[in-house]
Structure 1
Amino acid sequence: MLGWRDFHRMKAREIAVQIGLVLLVLVIVIGSVRSAQVNLAALGITSGYSFLDRATGWSYSFSLLERSIDDPYARTLLIGFLNTIFVGSTSIVLATILGFAIGTMRDSRNLGLQVISSIYIQVFRNIPLILQVVFLYALLIHFPGPRQAHSIADAIFMSNRGIMVPVLSLPLSVVAGLVLGSVLLGIGAARLAGSARQARAVWLAGTAALFVAAALLLAPEGRDLVSYPELKGLRFVGGLTLSVELVAMIVGVVLYGAAYIGEVVRGGLAEVPKGLREAGESLGLGTFAVWWTIRMPMALRSIIPPLGNQWIFIMKATTVGVAIGFSDLFYIVSTSITQSGQTLELIAILMGAFLLVNFALAQAVNWLNARLALKGYGA
């Protein structure tokens, strides 16, 4: 039997081995970096991040912030990062909503809904994402021109320039800030409210108040509260133009991600004991009431972990935008490498950005999973 002194000796040996491995890794990394610097210097290639202060001299298709060709690389990379976050977060929300609908249809007793959802999953899950995005892009650029644009209620227009929609008369950066504020408000309401119904009410009221206050206080004087797109000559003015690249990216990623999320939801619902559904029905609850109050709360505990993996996958899937010229971070980095030649530095920035985003997303999923875990069974 090991004594107290022997136990401490073994622990000290384990800690020493771990420290040694960490130091070995650091030595290898530092040596590799120094070797790369020496080799680059021998080839006449400068290294470092001083290039971030230089002007890019080129433009791109989409930005949430004001941009120009005179922007430095640092600002251009920031815009690409924000574009990636915007497309990824929007796609995650929409794919989750559609995926839950598809998964519920797959688990339905209605044969028609089962067939439709099964066909959807088989089609969109088995066609490569990049092929779907390229197909959607090719389809959108073959829409008619602005003068023959398809319209919905004379407020929304679809042409080969993109989709034009009404928007609050606020800068796009302010709208993005309002969306972020709404998300943070929802997270705070979920943590502090006593029930899901209270959290939903607080979030809806707070978001509405946030947008109304911003529209009243920040809207430019002399302009309508809502800006509508209008055809002037060969182009639309006013409103918000969603570029062809942006629409193809979001639609493609959402349709693809929802197919996988639908299977995750179907598997979670299948794990709920059949007796619970029958018990709810015996109490007079309708199909939706059984789904909402019994099956889905139980299924969420098994849905969230794989759902988090799909969210991370969707965020990484935004890199396919480079195939159609969408200016996400991967596209900006690729173009910056061509223009500046700072390959290692820019790839390091790209990897660090995705590591930061996906690590934060994983931590959010872990927190949500812990909140839903049964007492006494949480990690």
Structure 2
Amino acid sequence: MIALSPWRSRTARSFLLQGGFLILLVGAITAAFLTARANLSAQGMTSGFDFLWKSTGWEMNFTVLPAAPTDPYWWFLFLGLINTLVMGLLGLGGATVIGLAVGLMRSGQNPAARLLATVYIEIFRNLPLILQLFFWYALANSLPNPREAVSVGSALLSSRGIYLPGLAIPYGPAMATVGILFLGFALSLWVTLSARFKRMERAPRRRLLVGLLTLTALVTASVVVTSHVPGADWVTRPELKGLRIDGGIRIQPEFACLAIAIMTYGGAYVGEIVRGGFKAVGRGQTEAARALGLSPWQVFSRVRLPLAFRAMLPILINQYVWLIKATTLGIAVGFSDFFMIIASSITHSGQTLELIGILMGGFLALNFTLSAILNRVNRAIALKGHNMGGAA
């Protein structure tokens, strides 16, 4: 028998071409890596991740957890990632609230509310985010010094930041309280959306959810009570003492300005997404709900809002991922986010390739986690066979 040439088989040709392309790609990456390593060695620079255990020798201007110049690089990188996560969650939450309010105003029947929402969207959506960030930062720097701080209720506003009342408990228990609340909320959301609980009756699942929330509240209260100093006030308020402000919780201008910029900018886009979601709800569903005798609030909360949320969630996922990446603009005003810590670490250690790889891995982990959670929510609420239930 005459052997057939492998090029006459479509499968064989595809396999050979893809294998050859993969070999070329691996060879190019290997050559680039060896060339970069040789150039670094020629300049007296060593590659590797041993530097992560060396002390940084510099300070962070904002940290959620304690930090000192003697701490290693890996701890600073972790703190930067935590700062980015906190800023992202705060920015996404604020943008969602603002966007929901603006979207409802644009979808309503009040002409004045629609005009106000339209003006807001057109202004904040068409101005670059970094320009808005500089505006809020310049506004924060123009506030008076602490001796002439502006008093708004129990809060004080000055060029050094915003001072708010807070619980009089140590820093460690305060962070533990925040962690317990976050864990309780995450477990409650998991119980609500997890497929394992879909087979349960509504009453047992509701009792489990109420039990989780009650347990979270009891554990939080116990941590707060046991960490409180006997005889001291439960609430610490900011007070002017000499040239500085003591007490309370200080929110740094860099943190506040970046959060406000992300909220207002993202809120404009979320508002348009919300308006589009409500427009996607068919008039037939609304008219059917009214025909059944439902009140206007019941029509909104039980028909329009759930259907609109299903329609807008896939687009919201993309917007949320973009807003997480927008936190990197904090370097423009000196906020110690993950990107700024990476940039400072490159300057001090010279490990450029390793730190850029860590930066890419960190943002990939954040965005993939956020997308996975929201896509899970999208699949849980999707209507099977309905055009609004497509996954993102």
Q: TM-score, normalised by structure 1?
A: 0.89
Does the aligned pair in 2 maintain the 1:321–1:328 contact within 8 Å? yes
1:67/1:27 Cα in 2 relative to 1: closer, same or farther (>3 Å)?
Answer: same
Cα distance in 2 for residues equivalent to 1:310 and 1:192: 26
Match of 2:144 in 1: 144
1:365 Cα deviation after fit: 1.4
| Aligned residues: CA RMSD | 2.6
> Structure 1: which 5+ residue stretches go unaligned?
1-8
1:342/1:366 Cα in 2 relative to 1: closer, same or farther (>3 Å)?
Answer: same
- Residues 1:359 and 2:351 are matched in the alignment: no
- Residues 1:55 and 2:89 are matched in the alignment: no
Q: Secondary structure at the match of 2:92?
A: helix
Between 253-262 and 201-210, the greater mean CA deviation after superposition: 201-210
Does the aligned pair in 2 maintain the 1:215–1:225 contact within 8 Å? no
- Residues 1:122 and 2:122 are matched in the alignment: yes
Q: Secondary structure at the match of 2:240?
A: strand
Map 1:57-206 to 2 at 5 A.
Answer: 57-153=57-153, 155-172=154-171, 174-193=173-192, 194=202, 205-206=214-215
Map 1:263-282 to 2 at 5 A.
Answer: 263-282=272-291
Cα distance in 2 for residues equivalent to 1:135 and 1:166: 26
Query: Deviations for 1:55-75, whole angstroms, at most 9, x for unmatched residues?
Result: 222223210111222222111
Does the aligned pair in 1 maintain the 2:184–2:213 contact within 8 Å? no
Does the aligned pair in 2 maintain the 1:169–1:215 contact within 8 Å? no
How high is the sequence identity, in percent, across the aligned residues?
Answer: 40
Map 1:363-378 to 2 at 5 A.
Answer: 363-375=372-384
Cα distance in 1 for residues equivalent to 2:78 and 2:258: 19
Match of 2:199 in 1: none
Map 1:11-50 to 2 at 5 A.
Answer: 22=22, 24-50=24-50
1:361/1:56 Cα in 2 relative to 1: closer, same or farther (>3 Å)?
Answer: same
Aligned length: 370
- Residues 1:253 and 2:252 are matched in the alignment: no
Does the aligned pair in 2 maintain the 1:272–1:299 contact within 8 Å? yes
Does the aligned pair in 2 maintain the 1:64–1:173 contact within 8 Å? no
Does the aligned pair in 2 maintain the 1:151–1:157 contact within 8 Å? yes
Q: Secondary structure at the match of 1:151?
A: strand
1:288 Cα deviation after fit: 3.1
1:173 Cα deviation after fit: 5.1
Map 1:280-299 to 2 at 5 A.
Answer: 280-299=289-308
1:287 Cα deviation after fit: 3.4
Match of 1:219 in 2: 228
> Structure 2: which 5+ residue stretches go unaligned?
1-8, 193-201
Query: Deviations for 1:263-301, whole angstroms, at most 9, x for unmatched residues?
Result: 111111101011222333344444333221110101112
One-letter identity of the residue aligned with 2:169? L
Q: TM-score, normalised by structure 2?
A: 0.86
